Amino acid sequence: MTTSNYLMQTMRTACIAIFLSLTALPAAHAAKDPVPATLEETQQLDGQTLLLNGSGPHVIKRVKIFNIGIYTPKLKTTSQELLASTGPIRIKLVMLKEVESELMSRRFLADIRSSTTKEERNQLVNQLLALGEGFATIGDWKVGDVMTIDWTRGKGTVFRSNNKQIGEVLKDDLTMQAILKIWLGENVADNKLKRLLLGDKE
């Protein structure tokens, strides 16, 4: 075999190998994709039965990060109604992708800051610091991990990761309002998710 023929054969073999590896990627990726997590229709909080107001995937750059559900005593169909609710309210997140703890904390706090006014952020300084410290105590988030954010009027907001409390109880009512506005405020990043959380069906 001449040198030129040998090079052509080598290149052809390499191209075939690359092609096969590329065509195999979708199947391998699909096998690793998590099964879409389901959120229960009801939850118990503070002696009350809460109803699943709505749920959907939180997506960043076309990647589903977690499923989110909002639970309230009575179903609400508008942001104004839900934000005015006297509670209790539970937000439940079920992870669909592995996320580093620091990144999760940084993104969460950034979303809170972007969903609030300057005056609200001034009132939330201590709460955000406490929340950041709480996130630092937990490990990276794995597929299937669950976060709950519970708010009861007059008692405050409690974060839990897989039923373990994150940080201290944030004893105010503004924190939960700021968190809810991430997905239900006037300038949300994902209007489709906002509609789903208010009871729309896909």
Over the stretch 27-58, which tens digit does the pLDDT of each residue have?
333 334 545 457 999 999 999 999 999 999 99
* 1 — pLDDT class (breaks 50, 70, 90): low
The residues facing 93 across adjacent strands are 68, 147
* 182 — pLDDT class (breaks 50, 70, 90): very high
What is the C-alpha to C-alpha distance for residues 92 and 45, in angstroms, rounded to an integer? Answer: 12
**Is pLDDT above 60 for 64?**
yes
What is the C-alpha to C-alpha distance for residues 69 and 2, in angstroms, rounded to an integer? Answer: 66
Sign of the dihedral defined by the CA atoms of residues 135, 137, 143, 148, in that order = negative
Identify the pLDDT of residue 134.
Answer: 84
Instruction: Give the helix/strand (H/E) hosting 167.
Output: strand 164-170
Bigger pLDDT: 200 or 150? 150
Instruction: Encode pLDDT of 80-112 as tens digits.
Output: 999 999 989 999 999 999 998 888 888 888 888
Q: Would you report the helix, strand and coil content of the chain in percent, each value rounded to 5?
A: 40, 30, 30
- The DSSP secondary structure of 77-102, one letter per residue, reads -SHHHHHT--S-EEEEEEESS-B-HH
Interacting residues of 57 by C-beta distance below 8 A, sequence separation 6+ = 36, 64, 65, 66, 67, 68, 96, 193
**Is pLDDT above 90 for 151?**
yes
Per-chain mean pLDDT for the chain: 82
The residues facing 108 across adjacent strands are none
Instruction: Give the helix/strand (H/E) hosting 152.
Output: strand 146-152
The architecture in CATH of the region 42-197 reads: 3-Layer(bba) Sandwich (3.50)
Name the burial class of residue 156, with classes exposed (0-12), middle (13-18) and buried (19+) by CB atoms within 10 angstroms of its CB: middle
Identify the pLDDT of residue 59.
Answer: 92
C-beta of residue 101 within 8 angstroms of C-beta of residue 122: no
